[in-house]
């Protein structure tokens, strides 16, 4: 029993496990823990990746295709003949290329250095990535990038270029997605169109393999690249700024070039290792002179043609904006600020859209014009006070309106504004043909032989009360022909056409039809606008364009500089269409041209007349112009084929041109430019004369009224007419009258006025008699702050005016006071008797009495009051003669004897009756006066014995004169 209990108390132990079972258990738990670790790490990694890309959009296939194919492409501008001006403003040069145009050599070079497993991976090459990590950790001398071409493309298209870990994760994921939607060809093509290659020889940053080939080696066709050059280019994208052989202005960088050569050698080795080239090709490429094959240094287009490139950019952007607006169904009204934004958007589109802009600019014309403007010898020395003398010019093809060339300024570094297109200045007398003569001619209000009165016009002036404009020569010439008035650039006739005959409203409406867009509301109340008194002024471009319509037979064609615009795909998105508008008749245009012809041959354009060298081959006409104190000077001239406008002045109009040379500078430069262009481009000047249209006739008319001569007419002018407006009325501008002159004005004599002071001859009947003018002047003087004496405002032919008022002097009932201080002097041996005037107010004149050798005194001469204080008797000094002078009043009372010079008290004789003046014979219809020249506008005065000439020779001759400049000239 005891033994049984002992047996029961003995502990039962389980059997021992084998070591194999123990190992299996450990492995099991390690597997479980590994799975858990992997799941944890995977979850953490997934969470980490999710945190990185949670804000990144999931890009669709359509979006990826769109973004990858989107490229900023460089645009270019071209001259008229297709020669390049340069690339449009950007610091980048981008040129697209298709996959089929990329040589296999280039692809092999790029893949050898950047992604040799490109065709095997799906966007990420893990072996290359690990290799790059190892090279970086061990700081190996040769390091290769771990990113595939797909990763680099994804980074450049969708991500920023900051080196962050987050970016790397996004890059890998994007690369995998790109490989799903893009072919390998699409990826490598996009890569080679987008990556940077450093600077080209002109300083631009080149993007894409095509731009790199052109910018670095000057090679347009990639097929012409050799192995060495392809390897050189393939090595640049890794660090383009470090490897760029050129700096930002296109200058050679030796240090960077040497680094690029080291990189090229690596590319060649990799190509050899990848069996992309043979050993002989490798050796040949290593020895190739890369430096010698680099493109020569060239300036950027904005350095070579800065003004022209900016103008091309401006005008092309405006066209793109207008195209976009035209496509809209309804254009909303936009504010100026919004317009500016829209224009800037259009400009950016132009800069990056790969547009090719073809201009009308003729390279030889442009070069010839700038050869003048860039020669400092042609200009006045720079002034510290006034700055640099500036100029602007534009040449337009008459028939098409194409701008062939321009001078935009003298120094882009000093002033970037284009003086030819952006500046507006007062036009001076160059506005006269546009706003006065052309509309007047076209309406039949005036013809070249028509008569205009160069007598004062009194204009209201808010600040001064009244304003009396004057001519540059400080005198008023009276009745003149329209041709003469334009030849001499007289202000008053133009002002009368502008204000009275045509009217300001119609003048400006006419000017607007000729492309003048700068007319402001306040200009309609500016009565001196036709001589340059505008709110802002005009641009050189618009004024030149207006003149070109005259050469184009009255048809206005809006000037343009952009011929066509082609987009990056070769589609013509804009093509200019010439659309002439007949604003005035061909006859009007021809009459205006012929009047402008004599401005050069007989008028103010004496400098052009003197210096122009091609009169025999290329006929020209034109008009001078200047503004107050010569703040601006102009010359607008044209041939049958082209119109050239020139302006000279300073940036600030307050700085005026000084000295005769500067005042004629516009004429001087116009002539230099025209001579230079004709020499360089003679083929532009094919038309040898201005064509005369039907309906132009020649006619001889009265020089007093411009109408048909009568038996009284003794002054004539022969000129051309529009047959539609040949005068049919007879001369009513003259009459025969007996009158007396007082203070330079003719009056109807009082009853009893002494006959010897009366004149009876042909007098002029003008639209506004001188007597009325005197009244207006005397009424205006009190309201003027300053004015000259009344005599200053009397026109040269005032004494020939038909009397309409009675002599204002009244007889005081007594004999006048005797003149004093009578004295005799001798001039060239002839006696001159001087005296002081009588103090009496009713004196009509003075009689000179002479005694010969002690004999009785006899009346020798009479002198009307106001016509001087001396007699030229013609008596020789060898003759013993004595003189005295008597004053005579309106009632024929004569002053007492006295003031005897060299003799006794006189005994006067009765005044003889003046002889009757003979008449003249009329000119037969349609014939000219014998001995007359054929020059249109010449005033013909036939010799008539004993007849006084009512008008002086200045009233309408074509005698050549100086350059009439000054206010409005």
Q: For residues 563 and 576, is the Cβ–Cβ distance under 8 A?
A: yes
- Give the least confident one: 112-116, 436-440, 935-939: 935-939
Rounded-to-integer distance, Cα 886 and Cα 893, Å: 10
Name the band, by pLDDT with cuts 50, 70 and 90, for residue 129: low
SS3 451: strand
714 alpha-carbon distance from chain centroid: 47
Name the band, by pLDDT with cuts 50, 70 and 90, for residue 596: very high
Higher pLDDT, 331 or 259: 259
Which pLDDT does position 15 carry in this prediction? 55
Mean pLDDT of the chain, nearest integer: 85
Q: What is the DSSP string of 468-493?
A: ----TTSS--EEEEHHHHHHTT-HHH
Q: For residues 937 and 717, is the Cβ–Cβ distance under 8 A?
A: yes
Name the band, by pLDDT with cuts 50, 70 and 90, for residue 11: very low
Rounded-to-integer distance, Cα 605 and Cα 624, Å: 6
Which pLDDT does position 477 carry in this prediction? 96
pLDDT at 184 over 50: yes
Which pLDDT does position 584 carry in this prediction? 98
Higher pLDDT, 853 or 110: 110
Nearest CA to 717 out of 731, 705, 701, 728 is that of: 701
* Residue 590 burial by Cβ neighbours in a 10 Å radius (0-12, 13-18, 19+): buried
pLDDT tens string 889-912: 999 999 976 567 764 333 444 433
Share of the chain above pLDDT 70, in %: 80
Which pLDDT does position 338 carry in this prediction? 66
pLDDT tens string 760-805: 888 999 999 999 999 999 999 999 989 999 999 999 999 889 999 9
pLDDT at 453 over 70: yes
pLDDT tens string 858-895: 999 999 998 889 999 888 988 889 999 999 999 999 99
Rounded-to-integer distance, Cα 624 and Cα 483, Å: 14
Is the alpha carbon torsion for 433, 437, 441, 443 positive or negative? Answer: positive
Higher pLDDT, 456 or 145: 456
pLDDT at 954 over 70: no
Nearest CA to 794 out of 706, 866, 723, 720 is that of: 866
pLDDT at 130 over 90: no
CA-CA distances (angstroms) from residue 901 to 25, 343, 663, 839, 850? 162, 88, 52, 20, 10
Rounded-to-integer distance, Cα 110 and Cα 332, Å: 51
pLDDT tens string 616-657: 999 999 999 999 889 999 999 999 999 999 999 999 989 999
Name the band, by pLDDT with cuts 50, 70 and 90, for residue 948: very low
SS3 626: strand
Rounded-to-integer distance, Cα 256 and Cα 247, Å: 9
Residues 6 or more apart whose Cβ sits within 8 Å of residue 705: 451, 731, 732, 733, 734
pLDDT tens string 12-52: 555 555 666 766 666 766 776 667 666 555 554 444 444 44
For the stretch 382-410, what's the b/e string if a residue is b when 16 or more beta carbons lie within 10 angstroms of its beta carbon?
Answer: eeeebebbbbbbbbbbbbbbbbbbbbbbb
Nearest CA to 969 out of 495, 448, 453 is that of: 495
Q: State which of 518-532, 686-700, 735-749, 788-802 shows the largest mean pLDDT.
A: 686-700
Q: Quote the tokens at residue 201.
A: 């020889």
How many contiguous H segments (helices) and E segments (strands) does the chain have? 29, 31
Dihedral angle computed from the Cα positions of residues 561, 567, 570 and 576, in that order, rounded to the nearest 10 degrees: -30
Helix segments in 90-208, DSSP class H: 104-114, 126-137, 149-158, 165-181, 184-194
pLDDT tens string 206-215: 889 999 999 9
Max CA distance (Å), the chain:
215
Q: What is the DSSP string of 791-812?
A: GGGS-TTGGGBPP-SB------
Nearest CA to 379 out of 390, 371, 367 is that of: 390
Rounded-to-integer distance, Cα 573 and Cα 722, Å: 45
278 C-beta neighbours (distance < 10 Å), count: 12
CA-CA distances (angstroms) from residue 485 to 436, 446, 493? 12, 12, 7
């Amino acid at each position: 029993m005891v033994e049984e209990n002992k047996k029961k108390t003995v502990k039962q132990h389980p059997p021992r496990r084998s070591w194999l079972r123990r190992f299996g258990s450990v492995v099991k738990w390690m597997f479980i823990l590994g799975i858990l670790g992997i799941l944890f790490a995977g979850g953490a990694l997934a969470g980490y990746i999710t945190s990185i890309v949670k804000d990144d959009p999931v890009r669709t296939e359509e979006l990826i295709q769109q973004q990858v194919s989107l490229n900023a492409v460089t645009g270019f501008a071209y001259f008229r003949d297709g020669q390049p001006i340069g690339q449009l403003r950007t610091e980048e040069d981008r040129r697209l290329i298709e996959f089929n145009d990329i040589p296999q050599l280039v692809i092999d070079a790029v893949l050898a250095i950047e992604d040799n497993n490109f065709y095997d991976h799906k966007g990420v090459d893990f072996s290359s990535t690990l290799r790059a990590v190892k090279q970086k950790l061990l700081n190996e001398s040769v390091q290769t990038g771990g990113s595939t071409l797909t990763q680099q493309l994804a980074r450049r298209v969708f991500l920023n270029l900051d080196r962050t870990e987050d970016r790397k994760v996004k890059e890998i994921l994007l690369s995998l997605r790109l490989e799903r939607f893009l072919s390998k060809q699409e990826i490598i093509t996009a890569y080679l169109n987008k990556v940077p290659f450093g600077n080209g020889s002109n300083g631009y940053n080149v993007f894409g393999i095509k731009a790199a080939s052109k910018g670095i080696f000057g090679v347009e066709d990639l097929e012409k690249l050799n192995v060495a050059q392809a390897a050189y280019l393939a090595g640049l994208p890794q660090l383009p700024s470090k490897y760029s052989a050129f700096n930002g202005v296109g200058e050679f960088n030796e240090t960077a070039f040497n680094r690029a050569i080291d990189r090229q050698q690596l590319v060649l080795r990799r190509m050899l290792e990848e069996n992309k080239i043979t050993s002989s090709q490798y050796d040949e490429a290593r020895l190739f002179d890369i430096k010698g094959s680099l493109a020569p240094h060239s300036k950027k287009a904005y350095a070579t043609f800065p003004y022209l490139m900016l103008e091309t950019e401006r005008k092309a952007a405006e066209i793109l904006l207008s195209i976009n607006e035209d496509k809209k169904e309804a254009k909303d009204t936009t504010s100026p600020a919004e317009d500016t934004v829209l224009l800037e958007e259009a400009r950016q589109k132009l800069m990056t859209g790969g547009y090719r802009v073809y201009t009308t600019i003729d390279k030889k014309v442009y070069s010839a014009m700038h050869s003048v403007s860039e020669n400092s010898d042609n200009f006045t020395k720079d002034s510290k006070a006034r700055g640099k003398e500036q100029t602007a010019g534009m040449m337009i093809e008459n028939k098409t309106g194409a701008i062939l060339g321009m001078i935009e300024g003298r120094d882009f570094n000093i002033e970037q504004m284009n003086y030819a297109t952006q500046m507006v200045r007062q036009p001076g007398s160059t506005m006269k043909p546009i706003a006065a003569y052309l509309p007047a001619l076209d309406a039949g209000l005036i013809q070249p032989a028509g008569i205009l009165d160069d007598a004062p016009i009194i204009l209201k002036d808010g600040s001064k009360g009244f304003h009396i404009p004057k001519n540059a020569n400080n005198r008023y010439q009276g009745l003149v022909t329209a041709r003469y008035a334009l030849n001499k650039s007289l202000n008053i006739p133009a002002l009368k056409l502008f204000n009275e005959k045509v009217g300001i409203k119609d003048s400006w409406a006419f000017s607007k039809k000729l492309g003048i867009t700068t007319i402001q509301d306040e200009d309609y109340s500016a009565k001196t606008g036709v001589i340059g008194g505008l709110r802002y002024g005009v641009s050189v471009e618009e004024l030149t364009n207006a003149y070109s319509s005259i050469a184009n037979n009255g048809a206005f064609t809006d000037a343009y500089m952009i011929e066509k615009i082609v987009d990056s795909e070769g589609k013509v998105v804009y093509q200019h269409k010439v659309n002439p508008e007949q604003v005035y008749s061909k006859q009007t245009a021809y009459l205006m041209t012929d009047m402008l012809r004599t401005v050069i041959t007989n008028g103010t354009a004496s400098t052009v007349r003197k210096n122009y060298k091609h009169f025999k081959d290329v006929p020209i006409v034109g008009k001078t112009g200047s503004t107050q104190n010569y703040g601006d000077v102009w010359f607008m001239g044209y041939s049958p084929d082209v119109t050239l406008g020139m302006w000279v002045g300073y940036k600030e109009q307050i700085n005026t041109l000084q000295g005769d040379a500067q005042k004629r500078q516009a004429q001087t430069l116009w002539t230099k430019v025209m001579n230079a262009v004709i020499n360089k481009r003679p083929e532009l000047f094919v038309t040898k004369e201005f064509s005369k249209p039907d309906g132009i006739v020649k006619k001889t008319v009265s020089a007093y009224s411009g109408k048909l001569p009568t038996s009284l007419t003794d002054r004539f002018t022969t000129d051309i007419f529009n047959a539609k407006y040949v005068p049919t009325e007879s001369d009513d501008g003259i009459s025969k009258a007996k009158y007396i002159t007082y203070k330079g004005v003719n009056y109807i004599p009082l009853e009893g006025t002494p006959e010897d002071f009366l004149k009876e001859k042909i007098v002029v009947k003008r639209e506004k008699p001188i007597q009325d003018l005197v009244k207006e002047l005397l009424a205006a003087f009190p309201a003027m702050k300053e004015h000259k004496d009344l005599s200053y405002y009397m026109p040269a032919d005032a004494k020939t005016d038909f009397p309409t008022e009675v002599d204002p002097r009244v007889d005081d009932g007594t004999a006048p006071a005797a003149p004093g201080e009578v004295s005799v002097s001798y001039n060239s041996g002839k006696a001159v008797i001087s005296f002081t005037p009588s103090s009496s107010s009713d004196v009509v004149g003075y009689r000179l009495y002479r005694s010969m050798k002690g004999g009785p005194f006899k009346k020798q001469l009479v002198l009307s009051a106001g016509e001087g204080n001396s007699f030229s008797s013609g008596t020789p000094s060898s003759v013993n003669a004595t003189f005295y002078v008597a004053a005579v009043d309106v009632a024929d009372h004569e002053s007492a004897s006295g003031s005897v010079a060299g003799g006794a008290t006189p005994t006067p004789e009765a005044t003889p009756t003046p002889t009757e003046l003979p008449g003249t014979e009329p000119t037969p219809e349609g014939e000219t006066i014998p001995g007359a020249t054929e020059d249109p506008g010449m005033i013909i005065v036939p010799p008539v014995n004993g007849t006084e000439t009512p008008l002086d020779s200045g009233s309408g001759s074509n005698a050549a004169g100086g350059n009439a400049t000054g206010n409005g000239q």
